[in-house]
A and B are shown apart, each in its own frame.
Chain A
Amino acid sequence: MKDVKSQASKNAAPGKQGGLNAEIQSRIGHQLRAMYDDVVRQGVPDRFAELIRKLDVPQPDPQLGDTGDQAVKNEGRD
């Protein structure tokens, strides 16, 4: 216990980049993940589930070639 304490205060020497207190670092890691996981736990909002479910990628029509803007060109011609 004593050893751990003196070790910790050695690591806590301020201003030393390599000597960042391990406890502080684990605390930062914990807070970062807590912030992040709060959002992750909310799951998938309906708007995104619907968007992904409904949206179909326009399949390129082999007769028109495989460029996606072919349809736009046709529309302009009509």
Chain B
Amino acid sequence: MPLTDALRDDILASVPSLRAFAISLSGNGDRADDLVQETLLRALANIDSFQPGSNLPAWLFTILRNLFRSDYRKRRREVEDADGSYAKTLKTQPAQNAHLEFEEFRAALDKLPQDQREALILVGASGFSYEDAAAICGCAVGTIKSRVNRARSKLSALLYVDGAEDFGPDDTVRAVIGGSGG
């Protein structure tokens, strides 16, 4: 369809969540914005292939996800946010404890296999249905469901059970309350 003003507005309205998705995937604010820019350029160049009335955010997310994956294959992840550039993208610095917890969460998220991470983000944060997430990732709905479940289990183990199967509830509770345990 032609690029109407209404469509322009709709694309613009998708930018904040596209950025959040890109940052969640790449873990790097600068690179995420490059991804978003490339996504927008590609979307605008191919706007006539967008079906009016279909899900615009899902279409844009699909473009971004594919760009990220082809880019990822090329250069793998570079230094993992060594200078805290992700934290710098936040307008307000979280309080110290919250910040620590945030960094731990971010680090655990980075340890997930890419398939699981993107599925969890799409369903758990972007708010897409399993069906939309499956369309974005080009796989079956059941596959998305199992990826999301595995991602949750793994995060839970990384953050709260510390990877051990034989930790008692006391340790779990301590980890939840104490964070670093210090």
Interface residues of chain A, those whose CB is within 8 Å of chain B, are 9, 12, 14-15, 17, 20-21, 23-25, 27-29, 31-45, 47-49, 51-53, 55-57
Contacts and interface: CB of A to CB of B under 8 A. Distances in A.
A29 B11 CA distance: 27
B125 A32 contact: yes
Interface residues of B, number: 51
24 contacts: A9-B169, A12-B169, A14-B167, A15-B166, A24-B156, A24-B159, A31-B101, A31-B105, A32-B121, A35-B105, A35-B106, A35-B109, A36-B21, A38-B20, A39-B20, A39-B90, A40-B16, A41-B16, A41-B91, A45-B19, A51-B37, A52-B44, A53-B8, A57-B45
B24 interface: yes
B33 to A, nearest CB: 7
B40 interface: yes
Interface stretch (B66-74, B76-84, B137-145, B147-155): B147-155
Given A20-B156, A32-B109, A48-B15, 9 more contacts: A12-B169, A14-B166, A14-B168, A34-B102, A35-B125, A36-B20, A47-B33, A53-B8, A57-B44
